[in-house]
């Protein structure tokens, strides 16, 4: 099932599709390129490593909307450097495929960078190995694991004296 949001009327509506539609999922990525949306990855009840393109053709004069959805996972592979590559069936679409591969590769690199930043943001500033699981009182900063935090007399972020260290749990 695919839905479309109309910004003018601020409403969602279901659109008819042809082809195999992807399962409803979260944590997926969508990339718009030319007249297609490329959906890849995500998870439903399991982690997905597939790619679909969604081509929307609409005729506003009669309100008709037809959406073609195709699974293109079989046209992709990862090379030795884990870069996304297309398997081309003819040379005419090679230039277009290179543009798509470049775009997808840029998106993957951006996501890797964001993941690394998120992981570093949640890593102890003391040992740089364990997850942050403590908070300094009275300032309230979180930047260390409990083992490193109890050995500090000053907060490394603001320099205030540490009155107490509280172990916190993430659920």
Per-residue CA distances from 164 to 100, 130, 145, 158 (Å): 53, 20, 14, 15
pLDDT for residue 90:
47
Q: Which domains does the chain have, with CATH numbers?
A: 2-121 (no CATH), 134-167 (3.30.40.10)
Question: Counting Cβ atoms within 10 Å, is residue 87 exposed (0-12), middle (13-18) or buried (19+)?
Answer: exposed
pTM to 2 decimal places:
0.39
Provide the residue-wise pLDDT of the chain in tens; the chain has 171 residues: 677 777 888 888 877 777 777 888 888 887 777 777 777 788 888 888 788 877 765 554 445 455 555 556 555 554 555 455 555 444 445 566 667 777 777 888 888 888 877 777 788 888 888 889 999 998 999 989 999 999 988 998 899 999 999 999 877
d(CA 39, CA 54): 8
pLDDT for residue 62:
47
């Amino acid at each position: 099932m695919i839905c479309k949001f109309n910004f003018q009327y601020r409403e969602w509506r279901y659109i008819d599709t042809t082809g195999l539609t992807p399962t409803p999922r979260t944590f997926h990525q969508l990339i718009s390129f030319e007249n297609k949306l490329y959906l890849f990855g995500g998870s439903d009840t399991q982690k997905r490593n597939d790619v679909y393109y969604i081509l929307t053709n609409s005729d506003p004069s009669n309100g008709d909307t037809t959406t073609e959805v195709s699974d293109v996972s079989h046209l992709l592979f990862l090379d030795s450097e884990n870069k996304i590559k297309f398997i081309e069936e003819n040379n005419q679409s090679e230039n277009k495929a290179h543009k798509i591969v470049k775009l997808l590769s840029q998106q993957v690199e951006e996501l890797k960078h964001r993941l690394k930043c998120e992981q570093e943001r949640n890593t102890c500033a003391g040992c740089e190995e364990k997850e942050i699981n403590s908070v300094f009182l009275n300032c309230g900063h979180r930047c260390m694991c409990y083992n490193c935090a109890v050995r500090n007399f000053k907060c490394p972020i603001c320099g205030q004296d540490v009155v107490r260290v509280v172990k916190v749990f993430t659920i």
